């Protein structure tokens, strides 16, 4: 029996299989006006196609908890009720296809205010709908990025509240799972890592201080997120730095603490917080980080990173390296990857009634 197509229970939510879609920004929301940050036709078609293709869980792309928390002016947001209403059609359609709708709540920190990737992705100013990025410390991501404003303690607390407000709106929008974005060099990751966090107050310095903001966000979200619904956390398991960065050892330690604070699954990625690092890319190159967390903590994990074929994904789960796999670019290339994988593995996956004659 295929491990990839076994259901997975988290609190009172059952995900029908272990083929999941990670958050991948589409940079396709309106940058200004009443529909700023709201999902549009592209988002409905994009996510709907993967749901119809049999994906068990879809994590909607990084969705900003405030306007300043966006990566670009074209990012999704969930800081107002107009955005909530626009999301409802997407979550309803995903649920109708048997897919569990999830959303990643995010703040981009010092990597904010950039153009869309196909326009070069460079930092932009007010003349292009940009703004001043903020961070734990006034340290730029690289030479091309501006020096961010250093957050005050009161501003940090305001952002904690914004995450909680965003979680309330995510619930109203019909999402079944919320994920907190703590990876890829965005705000929470910036606080976690000594590479980007040079503070000397209660939010910097020691491991305990550097993890304080992340745990405050988790606690604030968990307080408003229903007890019967799961909460995920996405983490960069390492900065890929030889010293002075966040490490795999830190990730295992933090996974135990996140679990104790009510996080139900760790979405394990890596990198993004330090520019110019060498990452040894290869099939499943991040899976060992997920496997270590699973082996050394009570936290369930999802693995990501160049997972492309059915046998590879099946082996990861059968070997106990992860509880689920997240397929990014492969699902961009093939929205029906889950249906194809099920055929290859001799398993069953839900097929829309409209497609029965073609499968």
Residue among 205, 144, 147, 185 nearest 279 (CA): 185
Rounded to the nearest 10 degrees, how much is the dihedral formed by the CA atoms of 282, 277, 198, 235? Answer: -10
Residue among 137, 77, 81, 127 nearest 107 (CA): 77
CA 146 to chain centre: 25
- H or E element at residue 328: none
Write out the two tokens for 38: 């709201």
d(CA 96, CA 171): 17
Active-site annotation holds for 285 = no
Residue among 116, 117, 147, 153 nearest 132 (CA): 147
Q: For 28-54, b where at least 16 C-beta lie within 10 A, e where not — what string? A: bbebeeeebbbbeeebbebbbebbbbb
Contact 316, 287 (CB under 8 A): yes
Residue among 311, 274, 307 nearest 290 (CA): 307
Which residue bears the tokens 């990751």?
A: 189
Annotated catalytic residue, options 186, 203, 207, 355:
186
Q: Which positions are catalytic?
A: 186
């Amino acid at each position: 029996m295929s491990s990839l197509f076994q259901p997975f229970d988290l609190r009172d939510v059952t995900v029908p299989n272990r083929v999941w879609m990670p958050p991948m920004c589409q940079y396709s929301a309106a940058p200004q006006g009443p529909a700023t940050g709201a999902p549009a036709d592209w988002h409905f078609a994009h996510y709907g196609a993967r749901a119809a293709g049999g994906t068990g869980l879809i994590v909607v792309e990084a969705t900003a908890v405030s306007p300043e928390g966006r990566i670009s002016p074209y990012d999704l947001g969930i800081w107002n009720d107009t955005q909530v209403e626009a999301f409802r059609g997407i979550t309803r359609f995903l649920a109708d296809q048997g897919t569990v709708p999830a959303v990643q709540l995010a703040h981009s920190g010092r990597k904010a205010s950039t153009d869309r990737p196909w326009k070069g992705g460079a930092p932009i100013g007010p003349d292009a709908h940009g703004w001043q990025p903020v961070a734990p410390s006034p340290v730029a991501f690289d030479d091309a990025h501006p020096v961010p404003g250093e957050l005050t303690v009161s501003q940090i607390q305001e952002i904690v509240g914004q995450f909680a407000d965003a979680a309330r709106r995510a619930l109203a929008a019909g999402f079944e799972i919320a994920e907190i974005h703590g990876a890829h060099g965005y705000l929470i990751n910036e606080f976690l890592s000594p590479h980007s966090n040079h503070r000397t107050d209660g939010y910097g310095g020691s491991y305990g201080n550097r993890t304080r903001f992340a745990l405050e966000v988790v606690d604030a979200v968990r307080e408003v997120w229903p007890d019967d619904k799961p909460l995920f956390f996405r983490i960069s398991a390492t900065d890929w730095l030889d010293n002075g960065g966040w490490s795999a050892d830190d990730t295992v330690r933090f996974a135990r603490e996140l679990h104790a604070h009510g996080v139900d699954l760790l979405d394990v990625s890596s990198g993004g917080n330090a520019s110019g690092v060498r990452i040894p890319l290869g099939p499943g190159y991040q899976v060992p980080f997920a496997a270590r967390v699973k082996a050394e903590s009570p936290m369930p994990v999802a693995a990501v990173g160049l997972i492309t074929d059915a046998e590879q994904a099946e082996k990861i789960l059968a070997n106990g390296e992860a509880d689920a796999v997240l397929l990014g670019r492969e699902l961009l290339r093939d929205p029906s990857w889950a249906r194809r994988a099920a055929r290859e593995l001799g398993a069953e996956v839900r097929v829309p009634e409209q497609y029965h004659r073609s499968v």
